[in-house]
Structure 1
Amino acid sequence: MFYVDTRFGKTHILKVGKEDAKPILLFHGGNSTAPFSLKQNLYLIKDYQVYAPDTIGHPGKSDQSVLSSNTLEYGEWASDVIDSLGFERIICMGESFGGGILAKLMCISPEKISKAILLVPAGIYNASKSRLIFSMGIPMMMYIEQRKKSGSRKHFYL
């Protein structure tokens, strides 16, 4: 465990795995933490030296600087993390919101990514809340109401 400096503040990083293994940078999902992401991806430590930062502004031990999801600030932050770790290029993996961070890093500093692994990436396209309500919420509510009226014994869980 250690900290690196970025233009947005201090970032807490966990480092696990074999010292002589290939490095990989693991970005966790939104409102999660590096330890939780590492627990979900323990298989990586067999072949890689894993660097897992707590995303700045999210739960965890990094500074609580709030970055905008509507800009490329998270990509700038990720680029700073790579620089602070001393890598020119590194394998990057992002899950959910971390995949969105990785996509923004691809826009800012694609030359720093030797390979990109995106797992169910979020934040690639930031739709407006009203558009989501009309395109997904209303049809879902209509479906639930129709199921109630038809007397179906099957349940719909959210």
Structure 2
Amino acid sequence: MPKIGRFTSDTARDEFFRAYDSVAAKWPVPSTEHDVATSFGTTRVRRSGEGTGAPIVLLPGIGGNGNVWWRFMAELAGERTVYTPDVIGWAGHSTQTAPVRDTGDIATWLTELLDGLGAERAHLMGNSLGAWLAGAVAVHRSDRLASLTLIEPSAATFLRPRLGLLVKMVLAGARPTPERMRTFTSWGMPRFVMDDDEVAVAVAATKYRMALPWDRPFTDGQLAAITTPALVLFGAETVVSDPVAAAARARAHIPVVETEIYPGIGHDLLWANQDVVIPHLLDFTARHERARA
């Protein structure tokens, strides 16, 4: 993995941004875009909604960008400011200029992003690998978080990843085509049907050499350092990890944590159960907004 994220060619970059712009056009609420300088480069972030409490910051799954949240934004931004950054070191409009070496650097990047946005604290939420990134921030800078929400956290957040998952991920990225991407997605997220623009983004993103640390299970000590209130949500049928064992480890070591395992749902937890999960997230942030007010 290179130290600085980059596209494999100018053609690959152009293909990606054509697809990216098509998804961005689906954004359902008024928003503004901002470029925030950090020690690791400039981060592009979209601001949606308005509210007086701490904003919500959303981190996407592996290789994703801020646009992946478009299906949920109308509800999430109804009464609160929501920031959706393009993760530094992944394909998107953020421009990386320095390597991100470890979880401490991930936390520094997000903290500097909050500083640039003028946000003293935030409700940080991450999905899949974005949940691991959010957890890394909480390990080092819980003081900047009003709450932490981990949605279907990546395989290596709490436990060692399953070998079969790693093999399928490698195969999906080795010779990416729209058909292969749909097949891989239907295996891991069977109730989520990507539209043509989302498939095009996913395929084009494989031509970007990502430059962030890979997820590794947090140690007991790291989990104990997450002092902000945390919510961890799993799908019972997930192919990513053992949700019962992962939830047990979260409860054993994170000081203030709620866990829930949704029956009959897999890694596509948000997409498959939006009407239940989104209100749960908003209720959790509201409760901990009041607790720290």
Bin the TM-score by the shorter chain: 0.7 to 0.9
Tell me the TM-score normalised to structure 2 length: 0.41
Aligned to 1:148: none
How far the C-alpha of 1:39 sits from its partner, in A, is: 2.9
Asked if 1:8 is matched to 2:40, the reply is yes
How far the C-alpha of 1:16 sits from its partner, in A, is: 0.7
Q: SS of 1:48's equivalent? A: coil
What do you get for the CA RMSD once the two structures are aligned? Answer: 2.6
Q: 1:91 to 1:99 in 2, by over 3 A?
A: same
Alignment of 1:141-152 (within 5 A): none
Larger Rg: 1
Provide structure 2 residue ranges, at least 5 long, that are not aligned to the other structure. 1-32, 166-185, 188-293
Aligned residues: 134
CA distance in 1, matches of 2:138, 2:54: 20
**Which residue of the other structure, out of 84, 92, 110, is the alignment partner of 1:52?**
84
How far the C-alpha of 1:15 sits from its partner, in A, is: 0.4
CA distance in 1, matches of 2:68, 2:162: 29
Q: Which amino acid aligns with 1:67?
A: V
Q: Which amino acid aligns with 2:78?
A: K
Tell me the TM-score normalised to structure 1 length: 0.72
Q: Work out whether residues 26 and 53 of structure 1, in 8 Å CA contact, stay in contact via their aligned partners in 2.
A: yes
**Which residue of the other structure, out of 64, 69, 87, is the alignment partner of 1:32?**
64
Alignment of 1:93-132 (within 5 A): 93-122=125-154, 123-125=156-158, 127=160, 132=162
Q: Would you tell me which structure has more helix in proportion to its own residues?
A: 2
Q: 1:121 to 1:42 in 2, by over 3 A?
A: farther
Q: Would you tell me which structure has more strand in proportion to its own residues?
A: 1
CA distance in 2, matches of 1:105, 1:83: 14
Alignment deviations for residues 109-134 of structure 1 (CA, whole Å, 9 cap, x no partner): 1100011111112252584xxx743x
Q: SS of 1:104's equivalent? A: helix
Q: Which amino acid aligns with 1:54?
A: D
Asked if 1:91 is matched to 2:128, the reply is no
Q: Work out whether residues 54 and 119 of structure 2, in 8 Å CA contact, stay in contact via their aligned partners in 1.
A: no
Q: Report the identity percentage.
A: 25
Aligned to 1:140: none
Q: SS of 1:13's equivalent? A: strand
CA distance in 1, matches of 2:103, 2:82: 27
Alignment deviations for residues 5-27 of structure 1 (CA, whole Å, 9 cap, x no partner): 11100000000112556521111
How far the C-alpha of 1:64 sits from its partner, in A, is: 3.7
